[in-house]
A and B are shown apart, each in its own frame.
Chain A
Amino acid sequence: MSRYLTGMKARIIGAFLVAALLHLIGTVLIPGYSAPFAIRALLVIAALLAVASVGQTLVVILGGIDLSIPFIIGFANVTAAQLYGQGWHFGLVCLVVFGLAILIGALNGALSRGLNIHPLIVTLGIGMIVQGLVLIWTKGFPTGSAPKAVSSFVSIGGSFGPLPVPALIPALLVMTLLIVLVLERTPWGRRLYALGANPGAAPYALINPLWVWTSTFAASAFFAALAGILLLGFTGSAYGDVGQPYLFQTIAAVVVGGAALVGGRGSYIGTLAGVLVLTEINTLLIGLNFSPASVQAAFGAIILLLVSLYGRERHFRTTV
């Protein structure tokens, strides 16, 4: 057990070190890379990815995967703008968006676990339905905007009291603390790890797999919807495909952060490290004036390199 912990900790510390190293390289190579505004922009972009990756972290600990995250992000983004634009009170808008997202997520989890279908297919199918329905509703041209409060909450130029960062950053830190507490110190969190580590044995410990899967996927959809609303504030207008880059980025962040897609291993702190690494790579490559095509290719190569350095799986032989 202690060896496993050191292994996990080493992965997370390794990921943070890689992020720091990338930042150092950027500071040396690119003038203004560490300028206050640049760092604020980097933090906000990373924070948005961090919010989108909460759900992926939770379902990956469980041994699942959630491909509906980008579709839920788009759904929340468009629905919130549309309803707010129609004059709804923003509190009510959030209630409706989060409520629907939680129902969609719960359906994902219940179908996957209850009928033993691979969550990749269930979440992809449900995600496609959700996106299609939103497109039909808005006829492909969503309107509306975000309330000022949300925009200033995520604005790169914003400040929070004496801090020169928008309120999103301290809010993310509080959220991180809560997530770590829930995962480490509550029965629900421990059940998540237990079920992910050994789905066969967990029911003997009186863990109800169906409930854990349903609640976890519901939580995942909730955080995706949150990311969608924050993105609405960030970009200013609604866009149904705003979540698409987050499909693979959330998975990459979780894995670079040391989680195993087979379940039972992972932590949100690790995901944060992964998010920082990905954001640094992206910023660095764009700052070095690579063409978008080469940024993409280099991004893929670096993910492969990092994961082969410290994200390797055990040989199945050792599990016999």
Chain B
Amino acid sequence: MRVLGRYTFAIAILVVLLVANLVMNPARFHPAAWGTLLGMAAPLIGAALASTPVILAGRGGIDISVGPVMALVSAVVIKVLYLDHGLSSPLILWPAALLIGALIGAFNGFMAVIVRVQPIVATLGTYLILGGLTLTILPAPVGPAPDWLKAMAGGWSFLPLGVIGLLWWGLSRTPFHDQLMAVGSDDRAAYTAGVPVSLVRFLAYVITGMLAAAAGMMLTALIGSADPKVGANYTLIAIAAVALGGVSLAGGKGGLLGAAIGAFDIFLLQSLLTAFNVSTYVLQVAYGAILVTAVVLIAFQDRGTKRSHA
């Protein structure tokens, strides 16, 4: 129940925005179009999910290379594997994407946990390297994506997000999840209690990398091609979605469900304001205002909980 408490605000916005969208734009929100709708929201949801594990792991944990990972995965899968080498089977492309994500995640984890460079700087380095690498592989957008991948932005859009949800649910039954939350809340206490703090944090980076790769696949599915410039923009908005979904940037509080709801809130807001035909400038003010209001309200809520426990 207390976990749900952190999501209260995100869910409240979700309900309000959903109703408003249904009234304003019934055709787009018709049940028959839900697959396409989720497909449009999927890259942002994926990016928000990806940003969450390292943030949960605490001590300044953050991965700003999530967006560039998405762009690199898109470039390698479409340009190098599909168009240059004719590999089109999902059984090759998905594992390849996840492997890229896992390797980059492992590199970030190595830099942040073993070399002990501050996470925002370590992943900033990766952000710049991956951005340059992507532009070298793919100077201009190319396409198209294989048909099965494009279908993942339509009727099959539930599949990748559903699999991630199931896997995370499974993971949350294992001791790893408890250790992750313990490390994020108080790494010194976790360490003295025998939790392998460094290993848990390292794995959080690997999971983040793999989720970012999955988000890259969803982005490729949505735009039906590979574009080197689109991915990087997801980084900051994904972190905003995570905060909106009640995940504490100090670590140890929140979960993937909250991040997904936060991301869907931002998507619905975008969709509603587009229906009103307002400019992207207004959209940006609305993003910022909702984000600040949400974190302020969550902070007040946290205060209330603390007092009632004291």
- Chain A residues in the interface with B (C-beta under 8 A): 65, 67, 111, 115-118, 120-122, 124-133, 135-136, 140, 248, 251-252, 255, 260-262, 291-301, 303-304, 307-308, 311-317, 319-320
Contact = CB atoms under 8 A, between A and B. Distances in A.
26 contacts: A115-B300, A125-B288, A128-B288, A129-B284, A132-B288, A135-B284, A136-B282, A136-B285, A255-B118, A260-B118, A262-B118, A291-B136, A293-B135, A293-B136, A296-B128, A296-B129, A297-B129, A299-B128, A300-B129, A301-B125, A301-B129, A304-B111, A304-B125, A308-B111, A312-B115, A313-B117
A262 B249 CA distance: 14
A53 B57 CA distance: 29
Interface in B242-299: 243, 248-250, 279, 281-289, 291-292, 295-296, 298-299
A125 B283 CA distance: 12
A308 B117 contact: yes
Interface stretch (B9-17, B83-91, B166-174, B186-194): B186-194
B249 A118 contact: yes
A128 B287 contact: yes
Given A296-B132, A297-B131, A126 B292 contact: yes
B208 interface: no
What is the interface of chain B mostly: helix, strand, loop, or mixed?
helix
A307 B127 CA distance: 15
Interface in B161-200: 187-188, 191-192, 197
A174 B190 CA distance: 48
B115 to A, nearest CB: 5
Interface centre among B128, B191, B302 (most CB of A within 10 A): B128
Interface string B103-142: 0000000010001111011101111111111111001000
B295 A125 contact: yes
Given A121-B243, A135-B284, A297-B133, A115 B117 contact: no
A317 B191 CA distance: 8
A116 B191 contact: no
Contact of A320 (B188, B243, B299): B188
A146 to B, nearest CB: 24
Nearest to B243: A121
A303 B124 contact: yes
Contacts of A122: 292, 295
Contacts of A128: 284-285, 287-288, 291
The 3 A-B pairs of least Cβ separation, nearest first, read: A297-B132, A300-B128, A128-B288
Contacts of A297: 128-133, 136
Contact of A300 (B126, B279, B283, B300): B126
Contact of B136 (A121, A136, A294): A294
B93 interface: no
Contacts of A314: 116
Nearest to B128: A300
Contacts of B282: 132, 136
B224 to A, nearest CB: 24
A255 B125 CA distance: 12
Contacts of B125: 300-301, 303-304, 307
Most A CB contacts (10 A, CB to CB) among B122, B286, B288 go to: B288
Contacts of A307: 117-118, 121-122, 125
Given A124-B239, A251-B121, A313 B116 contact: yes
Interface of B: 59-60, 62, 111, 115-118, 120-122, 124-136, 139, 187-188, 191-192, 197, 236, 239-240, 243, 248-250, 279, 281-289, 291-292, 295-296, 298-300, 302-303
A261 B285 contact: no
Contact of B296 (A115, A261, A291, A293): A115
* Most chain B CB neighbours (cut-off 10 Å) among A126, A129, A311: A129
Given A121-B291, A252-B124, A308-B115, 7 more contacts: A121-B239, A133-B285, A136-B281, A300-B126, A300-B128, A300-B131, A304-B125
Given A317-B191, A320-B192, A117 B296 contact: yes
Contact of B236 (A111, A117, A118, A124): A124
Contacts of A262: 60, 118
Nearest to A315: B116
Contact of B188 (A67, A135, A316): A316
Nearest to B137: A293
A295 B291 CA distance: 34
Given A118-B250, A313-B116, A124 B284 contact: no
Nearest to A292: B135
A251 B292 contact: no
B240 A121 contact: yes
Nearest to A65: B120
A275 to B, nearest CB: 15
A136 B280 CA distance: 9
A111 B188 contact: no
Contacts of B111: 304, 308
A320 B296 contact: no
A281 B287 CA distance: 35
Contacts of B250: 118
Nearest to A291: B136
Contacts of B285: 128-129, 132-133, 136
B132 A300 contact: yes
Nearest to B119: A261
